[in-house]
Structure 1
């Protein structure tokens, strides 16, 4: 329920609404806004116009939204370049206006006019808007609003692809570890969507940027922050072990550095992290084509590994626990087999 004091004046056409929003946002740039009262009045006008837009898109409890008007509004906000204005003015807007904006953004992006998502196409012609939204994670006042808007964008492959391949993507490795307990989880949620929403797209990205990506990702897996380690490890399992990424997994599990990270995580003080690490570690061990370097590491550390594994239990329930114990037993036997074949001095 909205607690805005503004009620939309009716009737207004989509053209009127888009033009009014544009004019009120542009007014925030005028010299008069240096005066507090003038700024307050300008912001009130923006909020009033956003309420009108929201009611046109979702109805107001009395009047249902009209599909034709929604389509026309989507076209008009693109024509008037309102999308660019609302992104760049986000930090100036009040809480209520930002809330309405995020809701309207979600609906407008999904609006198909003919065969085209016109608002998505508009953003494709202004990709810098996505960079701007990513950078906004550095502004705690609007970080969550921009995070919501980004996740709506990521639902569309072309927009997700741009973010993945942009220099802005690397900022997520910083944002997921921000000290703000609200912003960091939101940034991780967006980061996760980027790596899981479009499997083929992510597979192509990881293929092209394998080394730089996993160099950065290792820092998350070895972070001193427990939440970062746990979330990153769980996410790694999700996108690494998915079938479209099998070629990435095969490359990952033959590299000694990655094995060492998993072995370190098997010793983590958190049982949850130990269990998650095991599910990736077991792929290194079970790999029938393990390179000699991997076998040597397993043999050299077999006593410590076996001790860790013997003390590791899932404890989730009878069925899951039985499966875990079976997998663990197979891994233990394989480590023992490798240890018999390779000595630390080989």
Structure 2
């Protein structure tokens, strides 16, 4: 019995062999054509998945998983994962994404070796972002990117790269699933790491909100709704207080919110109100903001009185609306 187990142990491939086999099959897939090369690559990726996560009968050996992660990095397999993703079939891509996520989480001596590898090969991140244009692999790349964004250094790179601006295009793609996935990735980039986001927005405030304004003014209803909803949540988060204070000093953004208060969508009007109310409630409103509120007070009061509520279900919204109405009326009295 003990001889059987020793023999079985010798038959089990080492981490080095696993990484080398995966590498060879992906290189072959990259250089050859035909069903055999694809079949071998997908079979080896499935085997890797079972080794990393178990197969339902055998649990993964964590020490072996860590060693595989090291060998994967040593052999440059992560680069081959990204480069060959479009060549795989649906199941193969699904297995590859699973392996990618597991490998990135492997921590050895306080260091994530696969994350470190990507830090040294940031072109992989750019490639994944661009792949949102590829209908076949867009959702797979989205999953891989969101796993990367969990790590501050990788998220910071994407934010500061020229690739980041592509997300403003992706959230308006005609394919709803891909546009929604891109928006989820966009949200993660702006919410996962407060310090990196604060630094990025402080340095790129004009450019970022200039692009974001186009989303708020989009003719696509879904884009408009999702954009104003996210902005209303993002600006009101405590870590973004300084960004919000800067935003509510600008007349151009107040005018955008007034325009959204006129939208035919109830949900858009309510989200716009949650941003508009901060402009009005700001105790240090610039003269230009006050002037816009006074000059447009009749229309604003009408819009606020007609703001849809949940018929008693959202008492806080009703209270906030009444306070904002009173503040506008007060501004009008003072200006007379």
TM-score in same-fold range (> 0.5)? yes
Mapped partners of 1:119, 1:237: distance in 2: 35
- Please report the TM-score for the alignment, with normalisation by the length of structure 2: 0.95
Q: Name the stretch that deviates more: 321-330 or 264-273.
A: 321-330
Q: How far does residue 342 in structure 1 lie from its aligned partner after superposition?
A: 3.2
2:217 paired residue number: 222
Q: How far does residue 199 in structure 1 lie from its aligned partner after superposition?
A: 1.8
1:288 paired residue number: 283
Matches within 5 A, 1:319-338: 321-338=314-331
Mapped partners of 2:173, 2:297: distance in 1: 37
Q: How far does residue 340 in structure 1 lie from its aligned partner after superposition?
A: 2.3
The runs of 4+ residues in structure 1 deviating greater than 6 Å are none
Mapped partners of 1:235, 1:282: distance in 2: 16
Q: Name the stretch that deviates more: 211-220 or 244-253.
A: 244-253
Q: Secondary structure of the equivalent of 1:182?
A: helix
2:168 paired residue number: 173
Stretches of structure 2 that go unaligned for 5 or more consecutive residues are 1-10
Q: How far does residue 242 in structure 1 lie from its aligned partner after superposition?
A: 1.5
Q: How far does residue 308 in structure 1 lie from its aligned partner after superposition?
A: 0.7
Number of residue-to-residue matches in the alignment: 326
Contact 1:220 1:228 in 2 (8 A): yes
Q: Secondary structure of the equivalent of 1:192?
A: helix
Matches within 5 A, 1:268-283: 268-283=263-278
Mapped partners of 1:341, 1:293: distance in 2: 15
Q: Does 1:20 align with 2:21?
A: yes
Contact 1:18 1:76 in 2 (8 A): yes
Please give the per-residue CA displacement for 1:44-96, whole angstroms capped at 9, x wherever unaligned.
01011101100111111221100001000100110000000110111111111
1:195 paired residue number: 190
CA RMSD of superposed structures (Å): 1.1
Mapped partners of 1:102, 1:96: distance in 2: 10
Structure 1 residues 317 and 107: CA distance shift in structure 2, 3 A:
farther
Mapped partners of 1:277, 1:316: distance in 2: 19
Contact 2:29 2:41 in 1 (8 A): no
Contact 1:262 1:277 in 2 (8 A): yes
Please give the per-residue CA displacement for 1:144-193, whole angstroms capped at 9, x wherever unaligned.
00000000000111100000000000000000100112211111110111
Q: How far does residue 249 in structure 1 lie from its aligned partner after superposition?
A: 0.7
Contact 2:42 2:92 in 1 (8 A): yes
Q: Does 1:341 align with 2:334?
A: yes
Structure 1 residues 26 and 219: CA distance shift in structure 2, 3 A:
same
2:52 paired residue number: 57
Q: Secondary structure of the equivalent of 1:29?
A: helix
1:70 paired residue number: 65
